Structure 1
């Protein structure tokens, strides 16, 4: 079962529902943000049907994040991520220290409206020379900081910009097309996160240009620790999504290119596929999708 956000043909407003066995059934929440105000103890009972089911192939799926819900990300949570950051950075010791530090690295990644989802493009900054996708397990937490579920995240990153100076992290990580999440949220009570296989491949001109794999068993910090760190100083009235870092980092000789396709799969959680574009202009449709979410179907084709 997956919690989803979608638009039916001809409808103006998104709905929240449950996807299972190729069908989508609406539930009694008008937004995912409202759903994330619900305690985990009662949420399971409230995901019952609140309308007629529809064929999943007939609807347009949206990112399962809306309203005031934000996406944050953690960095240097896998040993491979530490190694990769050291390789690229002019201030390598910073990444070595944060890996073992008491305080994890956490940063804002995206507001809800700027997210893309499965089939939609992710982007490279026009002024970046070295870029990579970062496949990550994302934790979905409610307003009380309880883990509600999990989804797949692609935390796009400019290695050349961040490597030039760690203070450029926001520019390397936050821009249009920099964050993609899968269309569904797997409920926490259906997933065992202790050892989930995470795989990624990049397809270029019909052939695999890069592939890699890791497991959540290699996470240096617990999911609960990361969520607690995020919520300790800040209120999230409509919950938050926290992407938990990557254990798959290509060698410095590899960079994404316009036209590539990034394919990510996380065991028990889902899949995420995105074509790659370059620059700001190919992502301007996100502004139109604010008022007309149904137009996103064109971006997914």
Structure 2
């Protein structure tokens, strides 16, 4: 069972259930965490509450692909993890050493350390919905998407759902100096999530998600890669525990869990590209890419 948000009649955001048969049922809430909290009050699981709503209603006479999707929840904060896959470690080493993979770096140390890398990625106002423009940073010449599974967390750190995240990154800025990480990771239009939230209780094995990333240029597919969350170095509960350590999080915080799909080292995103990230059981998060003038405002 998946949960989506969309604009009803072009103006009002609504929450809906999207079944595995692609039927859309309106729910009585407008916010995903409101749905989770209401289920708790009624002493139901979120899935049970959704199923009760579906049983008492009819599906909309519309196809899911015809809807104007919003972010599935307005996450006050999006955090992200780095170097959680071996492929990510190798890519970071390549950036930091200019291709000298025989050199040990701090990325090797983080990969093997007890403490994971966790950094602040985005806010609700900065996070882009499906099919909306992502933006290239104007002072970077080496930019890529990072397709990631996102954990939707309650304020006490429970995983209540899974979504897809695009952690856009500037490889040249991060490789120049690790202290530049916030600039390499966070700018206007550098993060998207969606298109849906898969209820956690409907996922038998979260380490069996299959992830595919495709990049299209002028209508032609120029990059495609695939991976599985089974390749993760760290466990989800481990990442969440470190995020919660001496920290306060909000209901609906999203934690991106790192990437295992990295485009070739000679590839960089360009204006007009289209990124598609697919995770089986969740959907396809697609976003066009646009350049931006220095000092322009994202609206």
Q: Whole-Å Cα distance in 1 between the matches of residues 44 and 293 of structure 2?
A: 42
What is the aligned partner in structure 2 of residue 299 from structure 1? none
Q: Say what the alpha-carbon RMSD is for the aligned residues.
A: 2.4
**Unpaired stretches in structure 2, ≥5 consecutive residues:** 98-102
Contact 2:83 2:107 in 1 (8 A): yes
What is the aligned partner in structure 1 of residue 45 from structure 2? 42
Structure 1 residue 114 and structure 2 residue 126: aligned? yes
Structure 1 residue 81 and structure 2 residue 83: aligned? no
Cα deviation, 1:244-288, whole Å, max 9, x if unaligned, reads 0000112321111111111111122221111111126898453xx
Q: Post-superposition shift, 1:175?
A: 1.0
Cα deviation, 1:112-131, whole Å, max 9, x if unaligned, reads 12211221121110111100
Alignment CA distance shift 1:27-1:233 (3 Å):
farther
Alignment CA distance shift 1:156-1:26 (3 Å):
same
What is the aligned partner in structure 2 of residue 171 from structure 1? 183
Contact 1:98 1:104 in 2 (8 A): yes
- The partner residue of 1:154 within 166, 172, 177 is 166
**Unpaired stretches in structure 1, ≥5 consecutive residues:** 287-301
Q: Post-superposition shift, 1:26?
A: 2.6
What is the aligned partner in structure 2 of residue 29 from structure 1? 29
- The partner residue of 2:218 within 205, 208, 211 is 205
Alignment CA distance shift 1:8-1:85 (3 Å):
same
Q: Whole-Å Cα distance in 2 between the matches of residues 133 and 244 of structure 1?
A: 14
What is the aligned partner in structure 2 of residue 295 from structure 1? none
Q: Post-superposition shift, 1:64?
A: 1.2
Contact 2:189 2:298 in 1 (8 A): no
Alignment CA distance shift 1:176-1:104 (3 Å):
same
Alignment CA distance shift 1:125-1:282 (3 Å):
same
Structure 1 residue 214 and structure 2 residue 213: aligned? no
Q: Post-superposition shift, 1:32?
A: 2.4
Structure 1 residue 231 and structure 2 residue 238: aligned? no
What is the aligned partner in structure 2 of residue 253 from structure 1? 266
Alignment CA distance shift 1:280-1:138 (3 Å):
farther
**Post-superposition, which runs of at least 4 consecutive aligned residues in structure 1 deviate over 6 A?**
none
Range that drifts further, 36-45 or 218-227: 36-45
